[in-house]
Amino acid sequence: MTASLSRSFPIETGIDLDFRPSSYVAEWCATAVAVQNIVGEERRERVHQRLAAGGLRAPMPERLLADHLTAPLRDKVVALDPARNITGEYLPPYEPGENEIARVVLGTTPRLVYSLRAWTRMLPGKRPHFGKTTRRTGEDHKVYRLVGEGGVRFTIPSPWSVGVLSVRELIQLIDRAQAPHLDDVPTHLPFPEALLWWRSRHEHDGRALQRFVRVSSVVYPELGAFYRQRLRWWVAGRLARPSECMRFADSLDRAMEGWWQRAR
Mean pLDDT by 10 residues, the chain (264 residues): 49 80 90 93 90 66 88 94 94 95 95 96 52 46 94 89 94 92 80 92 84 96 93 83 43 48 49
Q: Number of folded domains in the chain? A: 1
* Residue 1 located in a structural domain: no
* Residue 247 located in a structural domain: yes
* Residue 21 located in a structural domain: no
* Residue 18 located in a structural domain: no
| Single pTM value for the model | 0.81
Q: Which residues lie below 8 Å from residue 20, measured CB to CB, with a gap of 6+?
A: 164, 165, 166, 167
Count other Cβ atoms within 10 Å, centred on residue 173.
22
* Residue 49 located in a structural domain: yes
Residues spanned by the domain of 254: 30-263
* Residue 20 located in a structural domain: no
* Residue 128 located in a structural domain: yes
The order of strands in the sheet holding 160-162 is: 160-162, 141-147, 112-121, 99-106, 213-216
- Residue closest to 37 by CA, chosen among 139, 113, 110: 113
pLDDT of residue 129: 40
* Residue 240 located in a structural domain: yes
